Each structure stands twice: as C-alpha cells, then as structure tokens.
Amino acid sequence: MGQAWKIVIAVVITAVVVGGGVYLWQKQSTVSSEQEQLKTVTDTSVGYIVKYPATWFKVERDNGFDVNPGVGGFGFTLRYYDEATNSKEELVSKIGYTAGTERSESKENIKVDGLEGIKVTVTTIPSTSEEPMRAVVFEGNGKIFILDDGAVADTEFEDFYKSFRLTN
C-alpha cells in the first residue's frame, strides 16, 4: 500500500471520529438546552409541580401565579381553590367571563399522567383575542386547580398543563 493511501485512510478515520464526536456533542447540547428551557414551580404546602418557559416572567398570587413572556404579553396562570368552599362548576362558569358578553364553552375530559381533568374552551363575543380561552381543571389534595392559557398558542399551553403533577 502506498503512502498516499495511508494518508487517505488516516484522513477518513479522523473525519469519522471527529464527525461522530461533534454529532454526539451537539445532540447532548440539544437535550441540555431543552431541559434548561423550562423552570419548575414546586409548591409543597399545596402539593403540586408544574413547569413553564424559563425565559418568562413569574408573578406570585395569593392562590397561585401568572407567567408571561414579557410586558403586555399574554401567558399562563395557575390558580387553586379550596374544594370545601368552591364548586368546580361555578369556577368553570367564570372562565373567560371578562373577555366578552356572549360566552360559549365546550368541555373535554382529559388525562395527564393518570390525573383526570377537564379541558374547557371558551369563546366570547366580542373577543379580546383571535384565540379562544382554554383552561384545564384538576382536582386533588382538597383543591381545585385551574390552569389557563390567556388565549396564547395551544401548543405552548399543552406543554404547561401536561407538566402539572400532584405531589401529596
């Protein structure tokens, strides 16, 4: 075998090793980046965990929190209410009530990691957004949890409510 062939083989082997290393590094970086893109809220006293986009701003409320992408941006909310003093039906009837005078809703039973809930979609006339208001209602730990989307894109909201877990 000539010297030229040895050089070609060495270059090919080096390219395969370096290319494979770069591929694995990029794949690991992507996984790490996806994991870093979410923040986790853990409330041990109420008993829940939920995740939201890490670049969003969080505002604590007496019975939950709001998150949004920035000033004037719509985002998500999580509110919880005591089951002993609140009716799930009454709370659901209030979803989207400030958005317009004519209100219609549809409900869909869902299951997230074994936890049963109801996905509520509300449209109003006049509407303050092109998107309908969506909320998901879960019950557990003596609470009624309502996660709503502030009328933002459904795929982001789906990630939010599907990350919800009860911890107690």
Strands 102-112 and 76-82: unpaired
Q: Give the pLDDT band (50/70/90) at residue 30.
A: very low
pLDDT of residue 76: 92
DSSP state of 48: E
pLDDT of residue 70: 79
The rounded distance, in Å, linking the Cα atoms of 20 and 92 is: 53
The rounded distance, in Å, linking the Cα atoms of 90 and 109 is: 17
- What's the average model confidence in pLDDT over 128-144? 87
- Residues constituting the chain: 168
Q: Give the pLDDT band (50/70/90) at residue 24.
A: low
**CB–CB of 131/150 below 8 Å?**
no
Closest alpha carbon to 113 in 86, 140, 83: 140
- 140, amino acid identity: G
**CB–CB of 145/138 below 8 Å?**
yes
> Of residues 150 and 38, which shows the higher confidence score?
38
Percent of the chain at pLDDT > 70 equals 73
pLDDT at 22 over 60: no
Reduce the DSSP state of residue 18 to 3 states and report it: helix
pLDDT of residue 66: 93
pLDDT at 99 over 60: no
Q: What is the token pair recorded at 90?
A: 């009454």
pLDDT at 31 over 50: no
| Mean pLDDT score across all residues of the chain | 82
Place of tokens 């010297």: 3
Percent of the chain at pLDDT > 90 equals 51
The rounded distance, in Å, linking the Cα atoms of 119 and 23 is: 40
> Of residues 105 and 81, which shows the higher confidence score?
81
